[in-house]
Structures are given as C-alpha cells and as structure tokens.
Amino acid sequence: MTDAPTTDGHVHSDPFRVAPRDTFVDGAALFPGDTGVLPMKLRQALVRLLKGPYVDGGRDEKLWATLLDNQQILRSRLSELFLSLQLDHERKIAVLRPVDPEVIGGGARSSILRQQRALSRVETIVLLRLRLLLDRHATAQTEPTITREEISELVAHYQPSGQQDALRDADVVNRTITKLLARQLLLATGIDDTFSISQALPLALPFENIGDIPAQIEALMAAGADETGTEPLLELAETDDDGDGDAQGETTPAGAVDAGPGVASGLSKPRAELIEDQLRGEGAGPASTAEAEPTTTDETKEAAK
C-alpha cells in the first residue's frame, strides 16, 4: 500500500488503495493492458494445467520442476477457479480436480469450471482392466501397451453368454478407444492399433489395493439397470466425440458373469498370460501409492451400490 503526503507534511494511507495479496513482486507487463503479476513460465504452467487432461512430468521435466517449485502460488490461482492441484510424485503426473460443489454451498455447481462426467459401464470396465495391466507391467518392468484386439477381447468377455453382438461390440470398442485417446489415458504408438497405457490412469481410478478391482467389476456387471459406471477422479470433461449415443449397445443385463479366462488365441504368450491373469483376478498386489494428497475411492464404490 502506498502512503500519500499531504499539504500539512503528514503522510496518510490512501484508504482506496488495496495492497496485492501476492508474495510476488510485479514484473514487467507481457502485453498491453497486462495486469497480471506472475512471470511467463508460471502463466504457461497454469495454461498447461487448465488445458489438461494432465501434465506428464516424465515427458516435460522443466514443466514438472516448475510445478513443484511453485505449488503454493499455483494452488492459490487454481483455488480462485474452484480447482485443486493433485500431484503424483512417483509417476510425475499432475492433474486438476474440481472442488465438490456441495462443499462450497448450494447452487455452486454452475460455478465449477470443469465438470466431471460419469463413464459408461463398458468404459469403466476397460479402464479397470487397463489399471490392472498397468500394474502388472510395472511389476514386470515392461512397456505398458495393449492392442485393439485385446481391448475387443476384454469387452466381449463381459457380454452375457448368448447375447454377443459383433457389430455392436466393435462399435463400443471404437468409441471407447477414441474417448480414451482424447483424454490421453491411452496414447498412440508407432504401431497401428497398439496403444500405450498412460501413467495417469491410477489417478483416474485410484485403488489402495489392486486386488479390489475384480470385485468392483463384478459389482458393475451386476448393476445391470444402471447405464453408468463410475465418476473418475481424473477430469474427463465432455469433448466433441461425446454424444447422446454413448449408451447405445452398452446396456448389460443383470446376471452372473462368466469367470472363465476367455483369452484370445491370437495373443502372444506373455501378453496372453497378463490378460488371462486379469480375467481370473490373479496376481494382484497392493497398488503403489502417490506421494500427493490422499485420494479416496468413494466415487468408484458409489457406482457399485
């Protein structure tokens, strides 16, 4: 706050001037009319976070270092937008999550910048299986990849016996892959129809114990009357590829799920064993935990009720 001298020689504070709350010293303007105080690299970091769906520190070490070194001011700026910053130090992943509208009062949902959308049951099951596969690859220290054929086998495996529809399932697989690529939960590789599983996936569907996932899938399959799977913790805002036809062909009648392995004969032996173990629910161990703020599985468990 600047004090103004008066004609009587005394200095009085100007009651109409408000000192900035920032701990940063105002820098040079970056463009005409610029009233911001953050340096260029912090503004760029904010833009990257807001563009989403996440920041991968393994791919951008400089940006990751900027986030770590400036967490306080970045969290402050994001709080103004009802967003919280979540960091997974182990995987070097940073994501934004909207605050719970219920926490900030009624009618606040319209104030939330980034609304989360629920996944369909099929999308949830695919993500849960990818989560298992990612953990298995981490244990084996191999590249976490999956093919379109393997995703198709996963989808077909959870269709009730006698109700398989090849055309419908192919459409479901295509739309699911398109959405996961758009959210960067699957990443393109140099090989056609082969995808890398994102390290951000554990933040989308966190589990304290990987062994809980098969039971979660069984519960989702039993909830046949509900089109919805679960609300992921990673932001999955609606994009142009989301339409009203999401639920088409994705309704799964209630009933028991065939627990057989159902592994495609065309899979290579190591990959077939990984997928087969997943379908049997074997080999699951405790998940690695993030060094970030604790997360819960309330969103995923709610869908299973």
Look at 22-31, 42-51, 160-169, 220-229 and tell me which has the smallest mean pLDDT: 220-229
Closest by alpha carbon to 214, among 300, 157, 132?
132
Residue 240 pLDDT > 60: no
Here the tokens at position 65 are 């270092």
* Percent of all residues in the chain with a pLDDT value above 90, rounded to a whole number: 23
pLDDT score recorded for residue 34? 87
Amino acid, res. 109: R
Contact indicator for 232, 205 with CB cutoff of 8 Å: yes
Range with top average pLDDT, 120-129, 139-148, 254-263: 139-148
pLDDT score recorded for residue 246? 38
Average pLDDT for the chain = 69
The domain ranges of the chain are: 37-115, 121-304
Residue 294 pLDDT > 70: no
The predicted model gives 77-86 an average pLDDT of 91
Cα angle: 266, vertex 174, 127; to 5 degrees: 80
Considering the four listed CATH numbers 1.20.1440.230, 3.20.20.105, 1.10.10.2250, 2.70.98.10, the one that applies to the domain covering 37-115 is 1.10.10.2250
In total, the chain counts a number of residues equal to 305
pLDDT score recorded for residue 71? 94
Residue 104 pLDDT > 60: yes
Cα 300 to its chain centre, rounded Å, is 13
pTM of the model: 0.57
Here the tokens at position 85 are 């910053």
**What is the full DSSP assignment across 177-240?**
HHHHHHTTSEEE-SSTTEEEEPTTHHHHS--SBGGGHHHHHHHHHH-TT--B----SS-----T
Task: Count CB-CB contacts under 10 A for residue 182.
Answer: 15
pLDDT band at 222 (very low <50, low <70, confident <90, very high): confident
The predicted model gives 120-145 an average pLDDT of 86
Residue 290 pLDDT > 60: no
Torsion of Cα atoms, 76 then 79 then 81 then 86, to 10°: 100
**Between 11 and 251, residue with greater pLDDT:** 11
pLDDT score recorded for residue 254? 26
Closest by alpha carbon to 155, among 123, 202, 131, 185?
123
Amino acid, res. 78: L
Rounded distance between C-alpha atoms, residue 27 and residue 281, angstroms: 56
* Percent of all residues in the chain with a pLDDT value above 70, rounded to a whole number: 57
Instruction: Collect all residues with Cβ–Cβ distance below 8 Å to 265 and sequence separation of at least 6.
Output: none
pLDDT band at 101 (very low <50, low <70, confident <90, very high): confident
pLDDT band at 45 (very low <50, low <70, confident <90, very high): very high
> Which residue bears the tokens 């077909």?
156
Rounded distance between C-alpha atoms, residue 105 and residue 123, angstroms: 31
